[in-house]
Amino acid sequence: MAEFTLDLNDDQKQIRDWLHGFAADVIRPAAAEWDEREETPWPVIQEAAKVGIYSLDFYAQQFFDPTGLGIPMAMEELFWGDAGIALSLVGTGLAAVGVLANGTEEQIGTWIPQMYGDADDVKVAAFCSSEPDAGSDVAAMRTRAVYDGAKDEWVLNGTKTWATNGGIANVHVVVAVVDGALGSKGHASFIVPPGTPGLSQGQKFKKHGIRASHTAEVVLEDVRIPDHCLLGGKEKLDERLARARERAAAPGGERVKNAAMATFEASRPAVGAMAVGTARAAYEVALDYAKTRSQFGRPIIDNQGIAFQLADMRTRIDASRLLVWRASWMATTGKPFTSAEGSMSKLYASETAKKVTAQAVQILGGNGFTREYPVERMHRDAAIYTIFEGTSEIQRLVIARTLSGMPIR
């Protein structure tokens, strides 16, 4: 088991520097354009695929890094470049994590490669969980999956919302209700293969931030998929549902894993790393500006009001990174989140990104409020971190429940 360390090894440093160079040379120069266009930056994804960043092999190598630091390190550097473009590059990963968390080895080997395509024909994937009436309240999910034994198929009906790459994805991973009486324990995840009839894109959202990332509704109308597209398989699902029913009849029994929550538990530290990247980018712009911008005959950093803000910004960023790295190391080495360390990392880092980017705008003054400087975009982008994959309020709820052992509402 790898010991926790703050020192990256030589291979990790090389990868970090390579990613930083791509972020600086390819992502940043394109950021303003694709933010304005509000479209998926296919040319950037194509370039990332050509150099090996947008690929199953690259993310697998980072995911299986024995120290746990591969993914957070990669996320921080890419999102330092630009949050919207970076989310287009890593959004497929959430669907891949959904398959890794719930699928069989055969399903993992079959579907994850199809999510990425190759350098000559890049593809993206979508993880579809949220619904118009079921965001944080996953128990309110209405999308249904009904098994048709005569044809050995599942039939999916419902509408998903806030789906990154929704409708444009090659592969969709859809969470649906298979037993409504069990609440969130009666959910399962399904693969909807490319070209499946009945799946269509609904509304595409025009967003406040991360505008280079495609976000849309996904409509499912009598979508028929073969039984082997049920992640984990029907036998495993039937066993899990049976345990959930027993627990419902006798409170205090075995805890049963929820399909969507398994995905979010695995990805929360990675989202924290994204937030760290955006916060660090805004801090660096503000620091450089404060050292070169003069007022009343001296650089504005010479004023305590500015200098102390920058000190606080850097402290919060470093503290956020430490929480993210700890949670990532714990997850990789099999240490349980006994104090909801994954949620802690996501909560603190996302709140830090919002605060630091707001402070950066303030330090730049009027310039910070214009699109001539990137902190305006970074501030808009940072708002998403406290919302997606569990709001800050939900993270606090998870932490409080874990610490207290009480069903806090």
State how far the Cα of 87 lies from the Cα of 207, in Å rounded to an integer.
14
Alpha-carbon distance 377 to 375, whole Å? 5
Cβ neighbourhood burial of 401 (10 Å; 0-12, 13-18, 19+): middle
Q: Is the pTM of this model over 0.95?
A: no
* Cα(45)–Cα(89) distance, integer angstroms: 6
- 41 Cβ contact list (under 8 Å, min separation 6): 30, 34, 84, 85, 88, 212
Residues 269, 342 contacting (CB under 8 angstroms): yes
Please count the other Cβ atoms lying within 10 Å of the Cβ belonging to residue 87: 26
- 120 — phi, psi (to 5°)? -90, -20
Q: Which residue has the tokens 């402290």?
A: 315
Q: 55 phi and psi, to 5 degrees?
A: -160, 155
State residue 261's pLDDT score.
57
- Non-local (6+) Cβ contacts of 311 within 8 A are none
Structure tokens, 381? 């982008």
Q: Give the dihedral sign, CA 272/356/76/368.
A: positive
Whether 153 is a known active-site residue: answer no
Here the tokens at position 82 are: 């630009």
Distance, CA of 183 to CA of 134 (rounded, Å): 12
pLDDT-flagged residues of the chain (< 50):
253-254
pLDDT value of position 254? 46
Give the closest residue to 360 by CA, choosing from 281, 275, 282.
Answer: 282
How far apart CA 140 and CA 184 sit, in angstroms, is 8
Identify the active-site residue in 76, 131, 341, 389: 389
End-to-end CA distance of the chain: 37
The Cα 83–Cα 77 span in angstroms is 10
Phi/psi at 155 (5° precision): -115, 120
